[in-house]
Structure 1
Amino acid sequence: MTPCALVSDNIHHPRTTAQVNMAATSSYKPQNPLFDQALRNHLESLRTEDREAFEHCTAEDVIATVQQLNSSHAAQSRVRQFLVRFAAVVRPLESYFDLVSNVVGSIPGAQLGAIVFGALRFVIKAVNGLSDYFERIVGVLEEISQSLPYYQDYAVEIYRDSAPVQQALAGVYHDIIMVCSAVRDVFLKRGGVARSGVSVWLRGINPWNKTIEDITQGLQRRREVLGREVVHADRVGLHRQAIEREWNDRRRDFLASLPYEDCQPKQRDCLRVLPTDHNAGEWLINREELLDWAHNPSGGLLWVHGKPGVGKTVLASIVIEWVMNPTISGKQAAVAFFYCEHDNPKKHNPRSLLATLLHQVLGQLPGPWDGLELDIFSKAHSPENLRNSLKTACNYLERTRPVFLIIDALDECDPATREELLPLLISLGNDSRLLLTSRNEEDIWNALKSFPLIAITDQDVKNDIHQYVSRKVTLAGDEGSSLRHVEVGDPVLLEEVLRTLREGADGMFLWVQLQITHLQEQRTDYDIRNALRTLTRGLHPTFTRSLQSIDRLPALRLARAKRVLRWVVCAEYPMNLHELSEAVAVHDMQQSWDKSRCVNKPISLIEDCFHLVHCTDLSGKSRDAKVQLIHSSVKEFLLQNPMVLGSSLAGYHIYPLPDAQVIIAEDCLKYLQLIARSVHQSEMSQIMEDRHPFLSYAIEFWPQHLRASGPSGERNVSIFCEFVETTLSRQFWSERYNRKRDDTIHTTMPISHLAACLSLPHVVKAILEKGLGTANAQGSESRDLTALHVAAKFADESTVRVLVESGADINARNAEGETPLHLAARRWDGERIVRALLDLKADVTPTDGGGRTPLHIAAQNGYGQNSVLLFLQRGASIRAFCNSGQLPLHNAAANPYGVTSVQHLLSYGADVNALNGQLRTPLHVAAGVWYRGIDSVRVLVECGANIDATDPDGLTPLHMAAQ
């Protein structure tokens, strides 16, 4: 058969309309945009006739053609062998285009493959009868096919982000088309007209061979280019991984340093009370004020307020879930939230609140962020610094997705805390979407009344309350009914219960919840009717009903219930059941700890409080189960003067609170004495807290309770003195207390020093007045510190003032020559205590054993800029050298976070080019402080620092930076 006959018999002329429709692929979103773009570039570079030349088909069509042609050749013929090899090329190509379709590009693999497989079918029909041509073509196609697995690994897994690598991979497609186009040019003229046999023979000599050689050499060059790019991409990738690993490690360390609280359990608890198909809170979600807040790209503060028991916390949890929905903003939002809790100091503390929000926001940053250095976040966790860091983090995260900050129950912070916190939150709300919920307290109203607000009314929550009541009150025997429901036998009575609860709610979920709990205890319809007639209206009457129930208990149980209420109101954090059961039992103990006097069933302590207290684990078996008041309004009720309320149950009220605090402190100290006596001296260090759950609390918090008792007369002083003078108890406590603290409590420390160390100003005053200690006594075991040194070290302003008023030497020196002002200057939060000492006429000029003034100390303190300014305002010398030859300006320049201190010192006349003992300028020093010194470098240069100054070794600041 002649070449012309072969062409005329086997070649179908191309359909010019069959081409890749690029516009039709616009709905595809590339998973690897780099490969996608490289592939498109190759397609666009093809000649029109190359794209339109071949009738499109599938890999199966090519295989079918091979099988058809096989039958026309002898089994042992060379052409048939080539056909077998040709068929083996098809499947790797099919796999490659499937990869393109499923993983890599936006152009469907079927469309890409249609061009190539159409070209291959053209080739096989054109040259299967010409063994020399066929062998060359199959050889080239085999070489391409063998490279495909190598290419695929790079395309899919390893080098997705390398443009040169992806360009080389996409070139495989171009190579296949070029092979097929070369064949077409041999056999067809323009327009698809078949060439004559002679023409085919002539074109197949040199141009054909050259084209095939060019393609083969191109394949080799592509492999070499790919190899070089892979090596380069490896290096870049390793560098990026190193940067990301370092950044994530530093972020992890920074997050661990934050005094944050885990608020996720509270969020889960709130959502757990809602049924799966609930529509609770829809009225709030649809409010215009909330929608405006959520969609405001520039941030803003929204205040949602309502009366006690209206369900604000559950509403906050619903809003949190709502803003997490991408449909709100079109993107996956970043959400940070905090639930304030009245009974947990860490949950109504400004530092914990802001640190928790910062922890959550930084944790949602995807990785190393262009322009974001973690060093900009201050490690001095003052509320102001945390607020500034939170602002910065929100601004960076807002570049990619909306950020929402939600704080619930702001009213559960005490008024003094709110006074500090509200200005910080208002500042935060100027730049970020911040939602606050609280009661409408006067101070909160005054601070937030000018901002957008939503006042929760009874009508707003009416439908939610109706649904809640309908879920909780059912006919006896109904499907889904349980002990957590009020089961009513009479349908008429059921309607009466529903109506009574709905009408009496007055917009308060809490009231409804308490009445339902009361009705659950009724065993018959008759009992339920009687209970309905006597249902109390309002929260305080409902709480009084609980106290009346407690008052009817047997004497021992009644006494324990009183102690439970006192502990739950006064405890420094929500105690668990096992801690509480031991704390309650202390009062009943005699000379040693007697386990038989503890209740066998701790959950019974909760049951005996008749719904004023609840446990987070109803079974009471979990060691992590916390005991809490059911609502902050219960605490307010119990802390009020019972005479004002007209209550006949005065003994249950925690009033006055200081007296209760003294009792709590006394029980803690008695407990420590009991445990110390119950074990042999050699066994003290072996006592495990799981054997004595209350031990950790008593060790750590008895000083706080004694401090909270205030100046309550002789009792608190006598309690303190009796305890510390009992050697066994004091040693037992101090050993364990020191394990929890960086600062050591010495067992032989003077009593006044110990009281100062524990920040007990009223006890210090009483000790000095009674002559039990002297104001200037020095502790030999503690570097000759006076009590005033100790108070300054712990930043206890009240104790500082008590000691100075009692005659303490404000400039006393310890063994290292330090005054109390030196110790105060060391603290990251020392501004307040520094100011107090200066107001009390402390001298700013004394030097310690290293020749350093308090100004030197504050300047080298990373967060002492405010103290630096105070010292400068009070006349501290900027020209004083310490023994190592450093001026305060050099100390500040050596501080990675000292730029503000540098500015303060320069503004007060410090010499920008002053030389230290090594004959180096402040610019030398700042330039050598890693890259964090750049801020100080910039300030120094702007103020005229000599950038060409040299030290004795000939080093300039530039040399220091390079090192």
Structure 2
Amino acid sequence: MDQSATSGDLRTCLQEMRVTNPRDILSEIRSQKGKRIGHTCEWILKREEFSAWGANDNSQLLRLIGSPGIGKTMMSTFLIEVLKGKVEKSPDKMFAYFLCDYRYPEQRSPTAILRSLIWQLLLQRNGLFQHMRPDFEKHKDSRLFECLFDNFSALWRIFQDMLQDEHAGEVFILIDALDECDKSTRKALLRCTRELFQASPKSAGNFKFLVTCRPEIGDIEFEPDGIGVPLKMDSREVNTDLSDYINLKCEDLAQRKEYSQILKEDVKEALESRAGGTFLWVSLMINELESTPKYEVANKLKDLPAGLDETYTRILDDNIPKKRREDARFLLLSMVAARRPLTKKELAASFAFWKTGSVVVDHDLHDYMDICASCSSIIYLDIASNDSETTANFCHQSVKEFLLNDHGGLSGAWYQMSSDGANLHMFQMCWCYLSSDVFFHGRLVISRWNKMLLKTPIEELQTHLDQYSFLGYASSEWEKHAITSYPAILTDLKIDIVKAPTLRDAWLLRTAREGQGEEAIVKLLLNTEGVDVNSKDKDGMTPLSWAAMNRHNKNIVELLLNTRGVDVDSKNKDGRTPLSWAAMNGHEASVNLLLNNKGVDVNSEDKNGMTPLSWAAEIGHGPIVEFLLAKCSANTEDNIGRTPLCQILR
């Protein structure tokens, strides 16, 4: 094997994986949560379950389970140091870890987890690249590496082969906050993990997985199906750590607020008696006491809330006056829906637009920069060296869950919201912002050339991005918010769709592409004045092309075919028609609908001379071949002389 070529390919592969160094993520978490205090977390080293997990000669799965705010992530950061130290002393061992975070798309998907773990293992054992090399070679020439690095099945196969490699040695894997991994996609990861450990006594490899999560998360609790050992973080052991934490926080608070010794002890006693093993609750109460005058502290201690839900209720009901609640709700809706943490400037820019109805340039935002102040008890600012990169975040994931919880439908509180409602709020904010005359009613970000809708490259927007902080987020995320605002969008949409025709037609393209469940939105858009049912994206695909291509889109295909002026034979840049796409992908219902349309050209050829029948025969969709044979010729030759009949007989 050419070692220099291998080394070069490995280097390219590691770069193309686009993995954020986990050490940087760990460093950021430590700066947010602070350093570990004294001997906290060390109790786990004495637990039999943990000792057996590390010492066993067979592959093991350990599930560390703890309630919200009990200190799971702090425990994970401690265990990362423990396991790193263990591996550094033994060259035959490896260790990789991943810290899930619901706030960031790149830190909450199974493919992101696998990419990072594989990346770390490759850095430690270059020879493991042999398990990725065949897939890497396949995509190297086209450089379409996302086909590999976003493919869960391929990544899992590679990861498993690495774990079971005879030269891998003992491998330790830690995944923190698995419950923050996307619920819609983590099922495959849980299933594959279960199957891996079910087979492990008979298979090669010695690997130890440690996963942290909250209790009573259905799929995480039941999918392992008896595989692995659960270790519960209960208050008996956590309370010792918590007592040290309370001591430190009370000393600091008493010194800054100049409490008497008696008042300091009263605060300490009250926190210890009500904490319920939850570090987060203590932190929230310390913040509340920070803003409480000394003469009111004694009364405050008599009526401390029990648990996180009651704490959040008190903070939102008692700390935010009624005249500020509309503004606070805007902030909470925006943060719940945001697809990544919003910067302070992005929030200020969107808030200023919402308050004034006008786009405000960044240098005039100073009056709106304190938008987060109203909810400061549950929001923290992640301060960056560059102030424009400072982001606003909930103090804990449980805040977002509390806001989205309908509390049995009994609350009716001003801060209650639904996920689709929050996304509708954000979609409408993005849409109205982009539709303003400052951005030429959307044409700045999506322009029309002939029938084609073209997104403006980010570098061409730079001058505007430097002046208008919310423009970047709005232009990149508005479509995703539209998709996730269903079903609220059907009843609560309050925007002028006609005002921004290029945005509207781009929305129609995206909705037709998404498929099942989007019929109502397609219908809504088709009923707006001036909609272009034949608009095309950069690849020349129309709404009908996308709908015909995707499975489960029969209703959307039917809606589009019944729209006046629709081009049933519209061709993309490769000459492919809607019928060609439906035939190739085996969508019988869509093929039938298209064939029943009198205007369709069943013998339409693409740039390679392939007809819909050629594609159906090439892929082997028998029923569709039968439909098409009744309508068109089986002897039409493509550019290399093949006929559909040849394909059928092959």
Normalised by the size of structure 1, how large is the TM-score? Answer: 0.54
| Compared CA separation, residues 473 and 332, structure 1 to 2 (3 A) | farther
Query: RMSD of aligned C-alpha atoms?
Result: 4.3
Question: Is 2:221 aligned against 1:445?
Answer: yes
> Are 2:316 and 1:562 aligned?
no
How many angstroms apart in 2 are the aligned matches of 1:782 and 1:610?
44
C-alpha contact 1:248 1:368 (8 A) present in aligned 2: no
How much does 1:269 deviate? 3.7
AA partner of residue 356 (structure 1) = S
Report the equivalent of 1:765. 523
Displacement of 1:264: 3.3
Is structure 2 residue 114 aligned with structure 1 residue 354?
A: yes
Alignment pair present for 1:467 and 2:244: yes
1:883 alignment partner in structure 2 = 639
The 1-side partners of 2:625 and 2:55 are apart by 52
Gaps of 5+ in 1: 1-239, 734-746, 827-833, 861-867, 891-904, 911-963
Alpha-carbon distance in structure 2 between the residues aligned to 1:536 and 1:569: 24
Alignment of 1:630 onto 2:400: no
Alignment match, 2:343: 576
Q: Point out the structure with max Rg over C-alpha.
A: 1
Partner of 2:14: 255
Q: Say yes or no: does 1:701 pair with 2:477.
A: yes
**Residue number among 182, 187, 193 corresponding to 1:425 in the alignment:** 193
Kindly indicate whether residue 95 of structure 2 is the aligned counterpart of residue 335 of structure 1. Answer: yes
Please list the CA deviations of residues 117-160 of structure 1 after superposition, one character each: whole Å capped at 9, or x if unmatched.
xxxxxxxxxxxxxxxxxxxxxxxxxxxxxxxxxxxxxxxxxxxx
Going from structure 1 to structure 2, the CA distance change for 1:645 and 1:506 (only over 3 Å counts) comes to: farther
Residue 880 of structure 1: how far off its partner (Å): 10
Give the equivalent residue in structure 2 for 1:527: 296
The within-5 A match list for 1:141-156 is none
Describe the shift of the 1:810–1:399 C-alpha distance in structure 2 as closer, same or farther (beyond 3 A). farther
Preserved CA contact (<8 Å) 1:488 1:494: no
Residue 456 (structure 1) aligns with: 233
Contact 1:303 1:448 in 2 (8 A): no
Matched to 2:107, the amino acid is: K
Distance in 1, matches of 2:124 and 2:519, equals 44
Cα deviations by residue, 1:900-928 (Å, 9 ceiling, x for unpaired): xxxxx9xx995xxxxxxxxxxxxxxxxxx
Q: In 2 relative to 1, CA 362–527 (structure 1 residues): closer, same or farther, beyond 3 Å? A: same
Partners of 2:509 and 2:543 within 8 A in 1: yes
Q: Distance in 2 between matches of 1:723 and 1:254?
A: 46
Distance 1:369 1:664, change over 3 A: closer
* Residue in structure 2 matched with residue 606 of structure 1 by the alignment: 372
Tell me which of 152, 163, 169 is aligned to 1:394.
Answer: 163
The 3-state SS of whatever aligns with 1:623 is helix
Question: Distance between the aligned counterparts of 2:580 and 2:61, measured in 1?
Answer: 42
Q: 1:414 Cα shift?
A: 4.6
2:546 to 772, 777, 790: 790
Matching residue within 674, 686, 691 for 2:467: 691
- Residue 771 to residue 583, structure 1, CA distance change in 2 (3 Å): closer
C-alpha distance in 1, partners of 2:542/2:252? 73
- Alignment counterpart, residue 438 of structure 2, candidates 649, 658, 676: 676
Superposed, which structure 2 residues align to 1:151-190 within 5 Å?
A: none
Once residues 38 and 357 of structure 2 are traced to their aligned partners in structure 1, the CA distance between those partners, rounded to angstroms, is 54
1:204-223 aligned at under 5 Å gives the runs none
Corresponding letter in the other structure for 2:213: S
Identity of aligned residues (%): 23
1:271-670 to structure 2, matched below 5 A, reads 271-272=30-31, 273=33, 275=35, 278-326=38-86, 330-331=90-91, 333-365=93-125, 367=126, 372=131, 374-376=133-135, 379-380=147-148, 381-396=150-165, 399-429=167-197, 430=200, 432-440=207-215, 441-451=217-227, 452-474=229-251, 489-524=259-294, 526-552=295-321, 555=323, 557-593=324-360, 598-600=365-367, 602=369, 604-617=370-383, 622-641=387-406, 644-646=409-411, 650-653=413-416, 655-670=417-432
In 1: Cα distance, 2:59 partner to 2:527 partner: 56
The residue type paired with residue 375 of structure 2 is C
Tell me, yes or no, if the aligned pair for 1:804 and 1:810 is still in contact at 8 Å. Answer: no
Q: Whole-Å Cα distance in 2 between the matches of residues 858 and 256 of structure 1? A: 39
In the alignment, the residues of structure 2 paired with residue 323 and residue 453 of structure 1 have an alpha-carbon distance, to the nearest angstrom, of 19
Secondary structure in structure 1 of the residue aligned to 2:184: helix
Deviation at 1:540, TM superposition (A): 0.9
Matches within 5 A, 1:908-927: none
Q: Match of 1:247, as an amino acid?
A: T
* Residue 552 (structure 1) shift: 2.1
The structure whose RCO (Cα within 8 Å, separation 6+) is larger is: 2
Determine if contact 2:511/2:521 at 8 Å carries over to the other structure.
Answer: yes
**1-side partners of 2:613 and 2:189: how far apart?**
30
Partner of 2:223: helix, strand, or coil?
A: helix
How far is the alpha carbon of 1:574 from its aligned partner?
0.9
C-alpha contact 1:354 1:390 (8 A) present in aligned 2: yes
Deviation at 1:402, TM superposition (A): 2.9
Cα gap change, 1:852/1:404 in structure 2, threshold over 3 Å: closer, same or farther? farther
CA gap of 1:784–1:573, structure 2 versus 1, over 3 A, is closer
3-state SS, counterpart of residue 154 of structure 2: helix
2:557 partner amino acid = L
Change (3 A) 1:438 1:489: same
* Residues 1:713 and 1:320: Cα distance change in structure 2 (over 3 Å): closer
1:349 and 1:585 map into 2 onto residues whose CA distance is 33
Is the partner of 1:687 in helix, strand or coil? helix
- SS of the equivalent of 1:279 reads coil
1:593-621 CA distances to partner (integer Å, 9 max, x unpaired)?
A: 3658734473x33332032111112x896
1:408-440 CA-to-partner distances (Å, cap 9, x unmatched) read: 222223543333432133345556422221112
Structure-2 separation of matches of 1:855 and 1:433: 52
Does residue 563 of structure 2 align to residue 802 of structure 1? no
CA deviation after TM superposition for structure 1 residue 245, in Å = 3.7
Q: 1:698 Cα shift?
A: 0.4
CA distance in 1, matches of 2:611, 2:50: 55
User: Could you say which residue in structure 1 is the equivalent of 2:512?
Assistant: 756
Q: CA deviation at 1:543?
A: 0.4
Structure 1 residue aligned with 2:599: none
Look up the match of 1:123: none
Cα offset, 1:575, TM superposition? 1.1
Alignment partner, residue 571 of structure 2: 814
Cα deviation 1:698-753 (Å, max 9, x = unaligned): 0011111122121446667773723433xxxx4xx7xxxxxxxxxxxxx9x68744
Q: 1:492 to 1:331 in 2, by over 3 A?
A: farther
Q: Alpha-carbon deviation of 1:573?
A: 0.8
Is contact 1:475-1:490 (8 Å) kept? no
CA contact (8 A) 1:810 1:820 kept: no
**What is the rounded CA distance, in whole Å, between the counterparts of 2:614 and 2:50 in structure 1?**
52
Length-normalised TM-score, structure 2 = 0.78
Matches within 5 A, 1:219-238: none
Q: Distance in 2 between matches of 1:629 and 1:718?
A: 28
SS of residue in 2 equivalent to 1:627: strand
d(CA) in 1 for partners of 2:302, 2:102 = 34
Structure 1 residue identity aligned to 2:312: F
Please name the residue that 1:201 is paired with: none
CA deviation string 1:41-70 (max 9, x = no partner)? xxxxxxxxxxxxxxxxxxxxxxxxxxxxxx
Deviations 1:500-527 (A, max 9, x none): 2122111211111111221223343x33
Give the drift of 1:667.
1.3
